[in-house]
Amino acid sequence: MKKMKKFLAPILAMSMAVSLAACGGSGSGGGGNDEPVSKGDDSNGSVDKIVLWTLSNDLKQFAERYQEETGNEVEVVVFDSADFATKINQTLGAKSTDVDVFVGEPQMLPNFFEAGFCANLSELDSDVKSRLVDYTYEAGLDEDGVLRAVSYQACPGSVIYRRDIATEVFGTDDPEEMSKHFASFEAITETAEILSEKGYTIFGDTGALRWFSNSSSPWVNDDNEIIVDQDRLDYFDCAVDLYQNEYVAFAPEWSAAWYASMAGPLPMHAEWSDLSEVSGNEETQVFSYVMPSWGALIVRDNAADNKGKFGVCSGVCSFFGGGTFLTINEYSEHKDAAMQFLKYCTLNDDTARWWLDASGGDMISNKAVIEENKDYENEAFGNQKTYEFFLNEVDKIDYSLVTKYDDACKDAYGAAIISVQQGEKSKEDALKEFYDVVINQYPELKIPADAPIN
């Protein structure tokens, strides 16, 4: 066994634990007027100014275009993601009317629904269900099946790989062939070994595997049992193998080294922000990255001279992560105006076409507009038809595997893996602690009789 790096624990823990994968609905809106929001009337050419709270600058562009086209003003306030959910809970918990439209990522939505913050959008149900990507429709439903949030984005997952390295090592860069090298955790381990023999590392770090943790079963079943099936055990073993055999570059996601790896070689164990500190280390090149569709934009923008040398393929399972969902404050005094803006952002084909171009490649939720653009050849990805690929991937996403417990389970499982990677615990002890951590957070859950512990 090669020497392990115990000092990586804090960075790797964060990388493996962070998950943008959505959580399932956990309750319908319980407060305020639950009648559907009316469509409103803009026949006079003007509506009330509305206030939008969001997590990114994207919606500033939507608001500017909306005001140019309609004359209606939208004030956009951007918050840091770390503070956003708390701000929403505090503000709308007091039934504030200071905000009219606000956003949420999928894992935030169930709590917002349950708290009664999100207005009833059921008048849009048929349009959203028929026109937008299926999983985004499902993510916007509360536990009772009432539509309360709508997204202009879809974020299906992929493996992003270096075509030039694939051709050198495997003799082909064809996406379908490359998918075979990521089709199972066993295949990933074998692929990593082959790459290592040529001086390459398969991922920046083992946190990349977490995107595949919902490959076969929900984390919690209908009997409130926490499920660690064979696929999750294979995921565990794969992560430990990749780490202990140094098949990864030890460049955690979002680190300076991780971004730098997209442009070319970097020193092994380049965890530090100042890469010159490890300039004497053996160099490696990272072969692949596992990310939702927005990851393609990150790779493109950091690839430098490697731009055009990447491709996208499927992996162990289809998945999604992140995405901006719009919802209307149940306590807003401008619901009609808010509804007009929400529809403009999410159900207007011209807006979808504009954003596809303005964003430089963001994956949208509008199926018809993506279909229109499926033959677009992406120069940053070797002229691959990336929209066609992502359109196919969204159809494979199984939203029934999503539960409200996913984030807690993924965080605790990632921590258990790290403790074994670094030799701090045995696999069985780590799994026992995983169950203890999750049940401590959710006492209603239980360990099944066939759990992989004694």
pLDDT computed for residue 271 by the predictor: 57
Q: What is the DSSP string of 209-252?
A: GGGGTTSSS-SB-TTSBBP--HHHHHHHHHHHHHHHTT-B----
Q: How far apart are the C-alpha atoms of 394 and 169, rounded to whole Å? A: 30
Q: CA angle, corner 213, sides to 298 and 155, nearest 5?
A: 35
pLDDT in tens, the chain (454 residues): 333 332 233 333 333 333 333 333 333 333 445 666 644 444 344 568 999 999 989 999 999 999 999 999 999 999 998 889 999 999 999 999 999 999 999 989 999 999 999 999 999 999 999 999 999 999 999 999 999 999 999 999 999 999 999 999 999 999 999 999 999 999 999 999 999 999 999 999 999 999 999 888 999 999 999 999 999 999 999 999 999 999 999 999 999 999 999 999 988 775 544 445 544 458 899 999 999 999 999 999 999 999 999 999 999 999 999 999 999 999 999 999 999 999 999 999 999 999 999 999 999 999 999 999 999 999 999 999 999 999 999 999 999 999 989 999 999 999 999 999 999 999 999 999 999 999 999 999 999 999 999 8
CA distances from 434 to 190, 417, 427, 431, 446 (A): 27, 9, 10, 5, 12
For residue 270, the model assigns a pLDDT of: 59
Q: How many CB atoms lie within 10 A of CB 257?
A: 23
The rounded distance, in Å, linking the Cα atoms of 209 and 17 is: 11
Residue-wise pLDDT tens digits, 295-332: 999 999 999 999 999 999 999 999 999 999 999 999 99
The β-bridge relationship of strands 283-286 and 310-313 is unpaired
Alpha-carbon distances, residue 289 vs 231, 325, 376 (angstroms): 20, 25, 22
**What does the pLDDT look like over 349-376, one tens digit per residue?**
999 999 999 999 999 999 999 999 999 9
Residue 422 pLDDT: 93
Rounded Cα distance between 77 and 41, Å, is: 25
Q: What is the pLDDT of residue 102?
A: 98
Task: Quote the radius of gyration of the chain (alpha carbons, Å).
Answer: 23
Q: Which residues pair with 156 in a beta bridge?
A: 320
Which single residue is written with the structure tokens 């859950």? 445
Q: Which domains does the chain have, with CATH numbers?
A: 6-19+158-318+402-441 (3.40.190.10), 50-155+321-365 (3.40.190.10)
pLDDT number for residue 281: 59
In one-letter notation, the amino acid at residue 122 is S
Task: Give the integer Cα–Cα distance in Å for 356 and 131.
Answer: 16
**pLDDT for position 34:** 63
Structure tokens given for 362: 């963001």
Angle subtended at Cα 19 by Cα 18 and Cα 20, rounded to the nearest 5 degrees:
130
C-alpha separations of 152 from 323, 346, 371, 374 in Å: 8, 5, 15, 17
CA 241, 247, 252, 255: dihedral to nearest 10 degrees?
A: 170
